[in-house]
């Protein structure tokens, strides 16, 4: 069971969009996947049409033995929806994730994607501490890249050796700004010790529309640039993460 925290300190970089769509793509490739919505904003849950469904991630964290994930309408994809109570986790240093995550092992998920809220609250810290890798979606703009190096410092502060995969989202290849950002991302990959993923996710209206229609983009608009990109991302990560589809 490979545990992935989808994290960036900065808001609005596509954490929830990527966790949701990557989860759907991995499931479509036959990989048993669980998506956990750790954000009280519940974007991932809304986008999968499971907002309000129980047990929630909060219920699972606080009573793991009584609360197991729910299967979604997509084969091989299960979910623990978000809960506004996540904001009540407070500032405890206690590891509240280790035991609930251990309890999932008999359910034989191959991948667990944990969609973190922005910032570095309890849920994000715990998800990072309990994950095998971190996926960091970023925008290719100067302000976002500053946020990226801060996010990487924060992850390294929690776990020095955690592998980090950086995903360029809302990618606009024609902009000079994007090319400059690319140069910076490539040159700092070695210094900051992260992998810059080959696949980029374009800025694509169908990706945003799919969330509004409460569907992954691969079912909402399977031929759109966004759907094609998420399928490539799935293939790339299956290789890097060593998954068996
Ligand atoms: N590739 C894309 N193309 C077009 N729109 C996108 C794309 N990725 C994300 N968006 C849009 O950008 C907004 C932010 O995305 P999302 O909610 O996934 O970010 P987030 O990092 O999870 O935000 P938060 O930090 O608030 O949790 C959403 O409105 C989403 O629809
Ligand atoms: Mg989000």
In angstroms, the CA 50 to CA 5 distance is: 20
pLDDT value at position 162? 96
Write down the pLDDT at residue 239. 98
Q: Tens digits of per-residue pLDDT, 70-103?
A: 999 999 999 999 999 998 887 777 889 999 999 9
pLDDT attached to residue 146: 85
Rounded Cα–Cα distance for residues 17 and 227 (Å): 12
Where does ligand 1 bind, in terms of residues with CB under 6 Å?
11-17, 39, 41, 43, 117-118, 169-170, 201, 203-204, 207-208, 211, 226
Distances (CA, A) of 237 to 23, 216, 245: 11, 18, 11
- Preceding peptide of 55 cis, ω within 30°: yes
Give the closest residue (by CA) to ligand 1 atom 25: 11
Atom number of ligand 1 nearest to Cα 204: 3
pLDDT reported for residue 145: 87
23's tokens: 């989860």
Nearest residue (CA) to ligand 1, atom 13: 12
Task: Give the number of the ligand closest to the Cα of residue 8.
Answer: 1
pLDDT at 218 (0 to 100): 98
Give the mutation target among 7, 17, 143 for probing the ligand 1 site: most ligand atoms within 8 A of CB. Answer: 17
Mutate which of 43, 205, 206, 227 for ligand 1? The one with the most ligand atoms within 8 Å of its CB, which is 43
Share of the chain above pLDDT 70, in %: 99
**Third-level CATH fold of 2-135+205-240:** Rossmann fold (3.40.50)
Nearest 10 degrees: Cα torsion 112, 74, 233, 237: 40
pTM of the complete model beyond 0.95: yes
- Walk along the chain (245 residues) and give the pLDDT tens digit of each residue: 999 999 999 999 999 999 999 999 999 999 999 999 999 999 999 999 999 999 999 999 999 999 999 999 999 999 999 999 998 887 777 889 999 999 999 999 999 999 999 998 999 999 999 999 999 999 998 888 888 888 899 899 888 999 999 999 999 999 999 999 999 999 999 989 999 999 999 999 999 999 999 999 999 999 999 999 999 999 999 999 999 98
Q: How far apart are the first and last CA of the chain?
A: 14
**Whole-angstrom Cα distance, residue 45 to residue 50?**
5
pLDDT at site 175 = 92
Per-residue pLDDT, 217 = 98
Predicted pLDDT of residue 20: 98
In the Cβ-directed half-sphere of 153, how many Cα atoms lie within 13 Å? Answer: 8
82 token code pair: 């978000």
In three-state secondary structure terms, 198 is strand
What does the alpha-carbon distance between residue 242 and residue 245 come to, in Å, rounded to a whole number? 10
Q: How far apart are CA 16 and CA 9, in angstroms?
A: 13
pLDDT for residue 165: 98
Q: How far apart are CA 242 and CA 132, in angstroms?
A: 12
- Determine the Cα–Cα distance for residues 18 and 49; give it in Å rounded to an integer: 16
For residue 235, how many other CB atoms are within 10 A of its CB?
14
Q: How far is the CA of 117 from the centre of ligand 2 (A)?
A: 6
For residue 13, the model assigns a pLDDT of: 96
């Amino acid at each position: 069971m490979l545990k992935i925290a989808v994290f960036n300190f900065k808001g609005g970089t596509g954490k929830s969009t990527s966790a949701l769509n990557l989860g759907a793509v991995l499931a479509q490739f036959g990989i048993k996947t669980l998506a956990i919505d750790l954000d009280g904003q519940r974007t991932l849950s809304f986008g999968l049409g499971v907002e309000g469904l129980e047990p929630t991630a909060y219920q699972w964290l606080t009573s793991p033995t009584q609360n197991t994930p729910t299967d979604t309408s997509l084969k091989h994809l299960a979910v623990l929806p978000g809960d506004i109570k996540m904001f009540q986790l407070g500032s405890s240093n206690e590891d509240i994730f280790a035991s609930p995550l251990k309890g999932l092992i008999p359910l034989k998920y191959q991948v667990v994607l944990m969609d973190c809220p922005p910032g570095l609250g309890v849920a994000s810290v715990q998800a990072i501490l309990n994950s095998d890798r971190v996926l960091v979606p970023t925008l290719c703009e100067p302000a976002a890249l500053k946020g990226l190096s801060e996010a990487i410092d924060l992850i390294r502060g929690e776990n020095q050796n955690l592998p980090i995969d950086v995903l360029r989202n809302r990618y606009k290849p024609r902009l000079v700004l994007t090319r400059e950002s690319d140069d910076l991302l490539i040159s700092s990959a070695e210094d900051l010790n992260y992998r810059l993923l080959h696949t980029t996710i374009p800025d694509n209206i169908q990706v945003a529309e799919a969330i509004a229609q409460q569907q992954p983009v691969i079912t909402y608009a399977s031929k759109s640039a966004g759907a094609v990109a998420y399928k490539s991302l799935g293939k790339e990560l299956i290789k890097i993460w060593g998954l068996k589809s």
